[in-house]
Amino acid sequence: MATIRQEADACTLLDSDHKAVKKMFKAYEELVGSKARGVDQKKLDLAHQICHELTVHATIEEEIFYPALRAALKDTDLLAEAEVEHASAKDLIAQIGSMEQADEMFDAKVKVLGEYIDHHVKEERNEMFPKARAARELDLVAMREELMARKEALMGVEVA
């Protein structure tokens, strides 16, 4: 029996962002235990990269994905919850972004941000994405293109 591969859609794009950031959080955790020379600067740089990726991701969700879902779904409790989670994450991102050295508090903030993101990703993956894919009025394949274009603009990447 052949498996039919689902066409890449908005949820696929958002989930690939989730996976990329998860890898960065894991890399950060590995640096936390390191005593190597220059590790503090590596942690600082990686944490700022994580924050930038998350900021861009949250922006495309808030500008494109969530409003489309809000219009298509009857039950929008999940969206309200996601927006509150984004606000909490943005607060931590701002705190991390304003710190100039990777110390104990810096590590703790990055760890908690990772935990917030893990929780948020699970809810999107297990609850929001299935509802989005079930909503017939959403063209998630076309939305993927819109999300990608906006993401590239925010990242400063030229569209090929």
Q: Judge contact between 70 and 79, C-beta under 8 A.
A: yes
Helix (H, G, I), strand (E, B) or coil at 35: coil
Q: Topology of domain 10-154, per CATH?
A: Four Helix Bundle (Hemerythrin (Met), subunit A) (1.20.120)
Backbone angles phi, psi at 35, to 5 degrees: -110, 10
* pTM exceeds 0.85: yes
Q: What is the pLDDT of residues 99-125, one digit of tens each?
A: 988 888 999 999 999 999 999 999 999
Q: What is the pLDDT of residues 7-34, one digit of tens each?
A: 789 999 999 999 999 999 999 999 998 8
Residue 119: how many other CB atoms lie within 10 Å? 11
